[in-house]
Amino acid sequence: MSQHPAMAVVSLEGLSKRYGNHLAVDDVSFDVGAREVLGLLGPNGSGKTTILRTLTGYLRPTAGTVRVAGFDVVREGRLARRRIGYVPEDAPLYPQMRVNEFLAFMGRLRGLDGRKLHTSLGLARERLGLEAVGETIIGRLSRGYRQRVCLAQAVLHEPDLLVLDEPTNGLDPRQIIEFRTLIRGLAEHCSIVVSSHILAEIARLADQVAILLDGRLLAVRPVKASQSVRLRTRADLAPGIASALRTAMAGAEIVEEPQADGMVAVLVRWPDGGSTIDQVVARLGAAGIGVIEMSEAGADLEATFLAVTARKAVH
């Protein structure tokens, strides 16, 4: 489907959703560009699934507007939904059907038939690695392959937008790695909005991250290639570490985490190519600052997430 290059594939403006007295989503706005992957990141209960269900037309917003490919999901719901592929967290499948049978059934529901249906089925099976299991009964597939079938039915009609709610839940480590590769491949053909409460998954999947807490959008940040390190030192030395590194390292992001034993963990994150971990050690040594422990931090987004959630949103 064609998409005007200047138009955002997804546009949320002041989206709010209330359930009775509970405000589940509070004045959220963001855009997603063509072939961009946006990760919704936040703890359980932060509003991620409510946003996705509103985006896909399953829920009606209490306030604000949501557009997909320029179509309002409320006023032009049918046109908007034609441009969306959706995989909910607990994606429903028909376990008694064979893979090919199920995909053909879903394709016909999408309005595909004849040669177009045949071509779309072949392309979806190829992209999702399902050629070898086409005649297998869905109920006999592994969790990883069932999730692939869910993805395949969501892209049969070549949507502008693919919406994924916690897509790697319940997968083993190998399946998660394979699934991540599949999603990045699909991003070459459409925009993707994916939710997760796992920092490392969003860091490896997304181009941008929208950080949510208690239904409020705290920040939208690009996911940049970076290096990060965790230091542990005495609390009285932490200000000196921050001062020394900010002076010497352009673009460094530094977050302090007080610990119960009077120590402080300091997370330092900086752009790739700017410095090396050895240079961090050398700079601290030159400033006469001792570090008790030092290790590479596990996730690129960790420092950003801690910094943003520490100061929270201001409306």
CA proximity to 9, closest of 28, 31, 24 = 31
**Which of 37-46, 65-74, 85-94 reaches the highest mean pLDDT?**
65-74
| The domain over range 226-299 is classified in CATH as 3.30.70.1710 | yes
Does 3 score more than 60 pLDDT?
no
Give the C-alpha separation, 89 to 103, whole Å.
Answer: 19
| Distance, first Cα to last Cα, the chain | 37
Q: Which residues contact 88 (CB under 8 A, 6 or more apart)?
A: 52, 165
CA proximity to 139, closest of 174, 173, 175, 102 = 102
Ranges of each domain in the chain: 10-222, 226-299
Give the C-alpha separation, 203 to 303, whole Å.
Answer: 12
- Report pLDDT for 2: 37
| The domain over range 10-222 is classified in CATH as 3.40.1410.10 | no
- What are the strands of the beta sheet with 226-234, ordered from one edge? 253-258, 263-271, 226-234, 293-296
CB 243 within 8 A of CB 225: no
Give the C-alpha separation, 203 to 209, whole Å.
Answer: 8
Does 299 score more than 50 pLDDT?
no
Q: What value does the mean pLDDT take over residues 89-99?
A: 91
CB 156 within 8 A of CB 120: yes
- What are the strands of the beta sheet with 37-41, ordered from one edge? 84-87, 161-165, 191-196, 37-41, 208-213, 216-222
Q: By mean pLDDT, which of 186-200, 260-274, 297-311 is the weakest?
A: 297-311
Q: What single-letter DSSP state applies at residue 46?
A: S
Does 218 score more than 60 pLDDT?
yes
Instruction: Please tell me the number of Cα atoms within 13 Å of 272 on its side-chain side.
Output: 5
pTM: 0.75
| 55-71 tens-digit pLDDT | 999 999 999 999 999 99
